[in-house]
Amino acid sequence: MNKQDLNYKEYVEIAEGVYWVGFFDESAGLHCNPYLIVDGKEAVLIDSGSREDFSTVMLKIMRTGISPGQIKRLIYQHYDPDLCGNIPHIETLINSRDLKIISHYENNIFIKYYSMQSPKQCIEQMGFHYEFGNGRRLEFIRTPHSHSPGSFVTYDTKTKILFSSDIFGSYDNDWDLFTLISSSCMNCTPEKICPVTKQLCQMKGIINFHKRIMPSKRALRYALDRMEELDISMIAPQHGSILDTPESQKAVIKRLRELEYMGIDYFLKGERT
């Protein structure tokens, strides 16, 4: 697979049984990445997307060979509309009493405004994990206030993919599903145009996104500490590009740890300068 020459009108299998079923808009800077995990005849959908994305996401899901009724769980790692907006459409199409929504209880308070139909499961009452019928295990790791109180990330123990929600996300007009970041970005000063790829600097997009979205340095560093405890093959954020190499993961983590101002501190610094 040529990772930089993909057809984004189709689903992309990023690992065995794991599919990107997102929506690509050349005019948009915020690219949303719903992910489908299939194990046997059972499927789980992570951060299913906005109302506008519904038809695209569901068409890609069905093209994988999965019927809507095989989706047993919807996982929402926080409650923003770009993740949760299409819940009513998803529920209507699946139309199953077996369908449940998984999130943190802080999120479920707000997710109920999108969905009155499906039972809500709280990760803290599930022992912070979910098991497919065949025993495949998803683990949920809390990342509170990165960027909402109930935020968490999801780790697939089979593929070692970390679905990182808004952490490692980016706002980029020049977008690829897989990152262009490499070891050369470790100590490079982020510029508008990358001197290596001659494209918009992806690291700059990640840094700017976190400065605006994450409430505090302390919250982000706590989340990074938790995630660095894991054996990760790739990091699949809900926005931006997948970090599919150890070099890209190390470079981005290093840059995010170096950030001193984000959230209210970033705003107040801007007011003073």
Per-residue pLDDT of 125-184, as tens digits, reads: 999 999 999 999 999 999 999 999 999 999 999 999 999 999 999 987 778 899 988 887
pLDDT 10s digits, 45-93:
999 999 988 999 999 999 999 999 999 999 999 999 999 999 999 999 9
Give pLDDT, residue 53: 87
Contact status, residue 138 vs residue 45, Cβ threshold 8 Å: no
- Integer Rg of the chain from CA: 18
> For residue range 124-140, what is the model confidence (pLDDT) as tens digits?
999 999 999 999 999 99
Q: What is the full DSSP assignment across 141-187?
A: EE-TTSSSTT-EEEEETTTTEEEEETTT----SS--SB----GGGSS
pLDDT at 112: 94
For residue 259, pLDDT over 90 is answered with yes
How crowded is residue 15: how many other Cβ atoms within 10 Å of its Cβ? Answer: 17
Q: Helix %, strand %, coil % for the chain, to 5?
A: 30, 20, 50
List, in sequence order, every residue forming a beta bridge with 131; answer none if it has no partner.
Answer: 137
Residue 198 has a pLDDT of 72
Q: Quick one: how far is CA 272 from the chain centroid?
A: 33
pTM above 0.85, yes or no: yes
Place of tokens 């500490």: 225
Instruction: Name the DSSP letter for residue 242.
Output: B
